[in-house]
Amino acid sequence: MHWFLINYNKRSAKRYGWHPSWFEDQLHAFNSELIESIKWFQLDHNLKADGLVGPVTFRRLLSDRDLRKSKNYILVNDNYVEIDWDVKIDLMPDNCYRSWRKERKPNMIVTHWDATTSAEKCKRVLQARKISTHFCIDNDGMIYQYVDTNNVAWHAGGVNKYSIGIDFSNAYYLKYNDYYVKKGSNKRPICKNSRVHGIKLKPHLGYYPVQIEAYKKLVKVLCDHYDIPIQTPMINDDVADAGVRSDVKKGKFDGIVCHYHASRNKIDCAGLDLKSIVDQLR
C-alpha cells in the first residue's frame, strides 16, 4: 500500500511544486515517514488523513506555509507583541488547552524540555496527548508558538493557570547526538554535572547557544509585557535552587522557574543556568 501512496505523492509534488520538507524541515525523501507527516498535517487541519497530497490538502498546505512564515511577534490575547527574533505561529487545536475569556495575568514562566528531536515532533507528541505548551524553541533557535499566552496551556499541572510554558527542543539522552549530526546540526553540548532534587544526574544533552539566546529574548518580552520579575528561585545570593519549591507549587512565586521547581517527579530543565540568564537579563 505504501508504494501507491509514495508514487501518488511523487506525482503530486511534480504537478503542484511542493517538497517533502514542507511538512517537516528534516524530511527530504518520499518514504513512509513523509506519509505519516502528511497524515498528521491532515488531522491537524480536519482533513481526511489518507497520507495523500491531493488538491484539497495542497491548498491547505500552501495557505499554512504562508501563515507559518517567520514573524517578529508573538500572540498575546489575539494581539501582536513585537520580539526581536524569528517566530513561527503554529497554533494547536483547542482541545489541547483551556481558552481564557478574561485577560490573564500570569506571574511565572515555567521552562521545560520536550524530550524530542525537533519542535515539529514536540507538537505532534503534545497534540497526541491533548496537552500543550505556549512556546517551543527549536534546535536552530526558531521560536514556535503553539498557544496564545492568554490561554492556559496544559504543561505544568497545578500551576498552569499562573504560568506560561516554554519548551526547549532537547532529546536529553546522549545517544541522540548522532541523530542531530545526521540531520545536519552540530553535536549538542553535554551537561556533565547537573544536580536536581539533590541528586547528580548522568551526563545528558544540553542546549545550543542559539536556543539560549532565543530563550532570553522570549523571556524578556514576556516579563516586560506581564510585569513578571526577572528572578529565579535561589538558596542564597550565589546559589540557584534546583529542587521543589512550595511557593512555586502554589503559584505564588513571581519569576522564571524550571519544571522541577513545581514537581519532584520532574528534572527539566537540568543544566540550564537560570541564575546566569537572569543576571544577563537584568
- Taking residue 43's Cβ as centre, other Cβ atoms within 10 Å add up to 15
Kindly state the helix (H) or strand (E) to which residue 39 belongs, with its residue range.
Answer: helix 32-44
Within 8 A by CB and 6+ apart from 62, the residues are 18
**CA–CA separation, 174 vs 178, rounded Å?**
8
pLDDT in tens, 132-172: 999 999 999 999 999 999 999 999 999 999 999 999 999 99
CATH fold for the domain made of 71-281: Lysozyme-like (3.40.80)
Within 8 A by CB and 6+ apart from 4, the residues are none
List the single range of 16-20, 46-50, 251-255 with lowest mean pLDDT.
Answer: 16-20
Place of cell 494581539: 79
Please give the grid coordinates belonging to residue 139.
534546535
Can you tell me the mean pLDDT for 179-183? 89
Examine the pLDDT at 44 and tell me if it is beyond 90: no
Distances (CA, A) of 162 to 152, 155, 249, 280: 8, 11, 10, 24
**CA–CA separation, 263 vs 29, rounded Å?**
41
Domain with CATH 3.40.80.10 in the chain: 71-281
Considering the entire predicted model, what is its pTM? 0.81
pLDDT at 268: 97
